[in-house]
Amino acid sequence: MPDRLRSLDVARGIAALAVVFWHWQHFFMDVNPLGHDNNLAAFNAASQPLYSWFSGFYDHGYRAVMFFFVLSGFVFFWLYSDSISQRRCSLQKFAVLRFARLYPLHLVTLLIVALLQWYCREHWESDFAYSFNDGYHFGLHLIGISYWGFESGYSYNAPTWSVSLELGLYAIFFLVAYLGHTTWRKTLGIAAIALLLERLHLGGRWAEPVGAFFLGGLTYYGSMQYLKRRTNRSDAVLYVATLLVWVGFSITGKFVFRTPVFPLTILTLIVTEIRFSKLFQPLAWIGDITYSTYLLHFPLQLVFVITAIELGFDSGIFYHPASLLIYLAILIPGSWLTFHYFERPLQTWLRGALMSKPISRPAERPTAPLADVSAT
């Protein structure tokens, strides 16, 4: 296994952009001070900008969230399962690593969204997209449990609901790893039970994420075994199988295809990177900006809404391709700058300040998950 899997970095970056496209419909929701076509009953999805190019993202971008959970499981089993079970990674170290990576940008974007939603209410008596923007829900976001079941609905920087769930997944994972050595059998059992509960519509909002996370752990164990035994013929079979599952998933969306599609995709990307080691290097920056892209895209939408109203436009302007291109031209470079000049320096400083012993950089070499990112 390579020290860093740039192919997975790229994949999670593209998945984050899929969520960005899926959320373009925010501009046409009922809770919207823009007026005009601000009702999803009148919303024309096929008229969204450059729809013929990005229809898959516009129509199915929400599915990327499950990919994030599966990828997170893969990465955390890879990075932490043995070190936690062998007591080489304490709860303090694990918590500090996660806090330093996730919380600073989460806090800043929460404050930005709170300010911008207040502006919308003060000037147009309407929030944008999400309406439960009160002190109680602010508190839930502040402590990272905005989607644990205590909320009345989506609020503030609502796409961070997946980050909220992922924090819970981290806690479950740490407990499972700490209580005993993780094995593929234990991981399979947890994933199977969680996914069964999801199929039976039991387990609430937690069943599918837990199942996806531990399915990612099972993907890690399966990948390690496959890589020990792989041949050119088996790689060819893997590519064909992954393609067929993706076709079945795209056509039907059925559980029988939905379950293996992301594990097979992860393994296929790893094999591809091993075969073509430099293929993904020029695109690795896409993975770097995943978390900032995910957390910044809704605040930027608020800025666009306020600007559009001040300039006298209604929501129809967001059907125009220029609006999307300008939005992406701000979001992507802005995310890159945020990662390099805010996220990374502050992460390094916090880890040094909060840990009794310095944390070596190599511990973070492999790809980090979205909730080093997450999403709706």
pLDDT of residue 367: 45
Q: For 36-74, what is each residue's pLDDT tens digit?
A: 444 445 688 899 999 999 999 999 999 999 999 999 999
Place of tokens 């992922």: 166
pLDDT of residue 364: 43
pLDDT of residue 46: 92
Q: For 161-218, what is each residue's pLDDT tens digit?
A: 999 999 999 999 999 999 987 899 999 999 999 999 999 999 899 999 999 999 999 9
Alpha helices in 4-90 (DSSP H): 6-22, 51-60, 64-85
| Rounded Cα gap, residues 214 and 69, in angstroms | 9
Phi and psi of 370, rounded to 5°? -60, -45
Q: How confident is the model at residue 358 (pLDDT cuts 50, 70, 90)?
A: low
pTM: 0.90
In a 13 Å sphere around the CA of 258, the CA atoms on its Cβ side amount to 15
Closest C-alpha among 332, 241, 300 to residue 109:
300
Q: Above 90 in pLDDT, residue 366?
A: no
Q: For 219-271, what is each residue's pLDDT tens digit?
A: 999 999 999 999 999 999 999 999 999 999 998 888 888 899 999 999 999 99
pLDDT of residue 356: 67
Phi and psi of 212, rounded to 5°? -65, -40
Rama region for 358: left / alpha / beta (φ>0; ψ in -120 to 50; rest):
beta
| Rounded Cα gap, residues 235 and 243, in angstroms | 12
Least confident among 17-21, 32-36, 102-106, 328-332:
32-36
